[in-house]
Amino acid sequence: MARPREFDEDTALRLAVEHFWEHGYEATSIRDLAAVMGLTSASIYNAFGDKHSLYRRALDYYVEQSFGDRVGRFEGNLPPRDAIGAFFREIVERSLADEKRKGCMLVNSALEVAPHDPEFQRVVSGVLVQVEAFFRRCVEAGQRDGTISRAQPSEDMARTLLGMLLGIRVLARTRPERDLLEGLVRPVFAMLMP
């Protein structure tokens, strides 16, 4: 009944994520995206709407694949303290392997887009709340079975872990040094010990 798409929407979106992730929102033009995605601007507008909508789709895609995967993979499959450990170990390794220094697209969005845009404000804030909740579930489980210290309330510990996570993401963007990042998490881990 109609002409079919010549491109795969999912791979096109993945390519858009990659470019937005590396260059941010403002520094990316529709023509950049068209070149990277292998499409004309008309196709982009037809399939994804305007630049703002496409960035939203890209960020959602990134969050779903990045956080959803990590949380789901560790929680339940590992003892609570190990889940937190595995989470941070993966963040550190990923940061050190990040040749292009793209950092974390959520953190990038938190600083570039969210402050001036209520919609992204809400999206970013929501994800951070979820990550905090993940940490808190881990800490509470560990405090119940005695593998995590009860010296601090689980709320505070979860907040500290969230802050630590964001700090690593920022620091790694300009100083991706193993000693620095691994040294940074050691005292936090010591804090968890009962």
CA 55 – CA 30 distance, rounded (Å): 11
Q: Does 97 bind DNA (CB under 7 A)?
A: no
- Using only C-alpha atoms, the chain has a radius of gyration, in whole angstroms, of 19
How far apart are CB 149 and DNA at their closest, in Å? Answer: 49
How far apart are CB 47 and DNA at their closest, in Å? Answer: 6
**162 and 71 Cβ atoms separated by less than 8 Å:** no
Binding span for its own copies by CB under 8 A among 2-10, 48-56, 57-65, 105-113: 105-113
The residue type found at 95 is S
* Partner whose binding site includes residue 193, from DNA, its own copies, none (CB under 5 to 8 Å by kind): none
How far apart are CB 13 and its own copies at their closest, in Å? Answer: 23
Half-sphere exposure of 186 (CA within 13 A, CB side): 6
Q: Which is nearer to its own copies, 39 or 103 (CB)?
A: 103
Backbone angles phi, psi at 75, to 5 degrees: -65, 130
The residue type found at 45 is Y
User: Which of 119, 156, 178, 194 lies at the binding interface for its own copies (CB under 8 A)?
Assistant: 156
List the structure tokens of 56: 């939203």
Q: Does 102 bind DNA (CB under 7 A)?
A: no
Site for DNA, rule CB under 7 A: 1-7, 28-32, 39-43, 45-47, 50-52
